[in-house]
């Protein structure tokens, strides 16, 4: 439970501070923890040994991020545009699609009424997180997240390089999901 609260607090702080990625790979030191690949950014998280893989939509109105920490936890978070002020939202349906193929409807937990999250818990596997990661990793051109009347399309051309850096920082154990 404490792990979930810490992760939730970190995700909320990130939601307010996430910067846009550069339109091209940002030159950095090879050992840097902060680097951009098109609309993808890898950066150090707010606690030691935590890292973020942040995606920004083509139209710059939507984003999501993956976070990992030194304990092997991996989370995905989707800010919910227009959800401010709705009291007691506990979960929220999010639809994902890889290259406009099969739609996957996921029900994410909601923190503070504006961030939908799928997270590992007590070292267990979260099937929602696995579905999300599999869809993301199989995308060749676009990855789409939608909810309500919002549709956010993400170009995945920079994802392989960004994911490789994220995986390197987090360790291969939790960032690789097998495609079924």
| pLDDT value, residue 24 | 37
The predicted pLDDT at position 54 comes to 96
Give 56-61's long-range contacts (Cβ < 8 A, gap of 24+): 56/20, 56/21, 56/154, 57/152, 57/153, 57/154, 58/153, 58/154, 58/155, 59/152, 59/153, 60/20, 61/152
Report how far residue 169's alpha carbon sits from residue 159's, in angstroms, rounded to the nearest whole number. 15
DSSP element (H, E) containing 132? helix 127-138
What pLDDT shows up at residue 88? 61
pLDDT score for 149: 87
Give average pLDDT by consecutive 10-residue segment, the chain, 180 residues. Answer: 43 42 38 78 89 95 91 87 63 90 88 79 76 93 92 95 91 49
pLDDT for res 173: 52
pTM passes above 0.85: no
Which domains are present in the chain? 2-175 (2.60.40)
Alpha carbon distance 131, 137 (integer Å): 10
- b or e along 1-25 (b: 16 or more beta carbons within 10 Å of the residue's beta carbon)? eeebebbbebbbebbeebeebeeee
């Amino acid at each position: 439970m404490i792990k979930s609260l810490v992760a939730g607090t970190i995700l909320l702080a990130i939601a307010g501070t996430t910067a846009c990625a550069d339109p091209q790979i940002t030159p950095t030191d090879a050992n840097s923890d902060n680097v951009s690949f098109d609309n993808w950014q890898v950066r150090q998280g707010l606690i030691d040994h935590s890292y973020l893989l942040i995606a920004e939509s083509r139209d710059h109105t939507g984003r999501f991020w993956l976070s990992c920490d030194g304990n092997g936890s991996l989370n995905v978070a989707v800010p919910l545009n227009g959800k401010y002020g709705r009291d007691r939202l506990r979960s929220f349906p999010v639809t994902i699609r890889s290259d406009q193929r099969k739609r996957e409807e996921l029900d994410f937990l909601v923190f503070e009424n504006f961030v939908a999250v799928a997270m590992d818990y007590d070292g267990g596997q979260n099937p929602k997180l696995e579905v999300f990661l599999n869809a993301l990793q199989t995308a060749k051109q676009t990855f789409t997240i939608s909810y309500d009347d919002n549709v956010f399309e993400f170009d995945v051309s920079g994802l392989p390089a960004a994911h490789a850096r994220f995986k390197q920082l987090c360790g291969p154990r939790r960032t690789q999901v097998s495609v079924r």
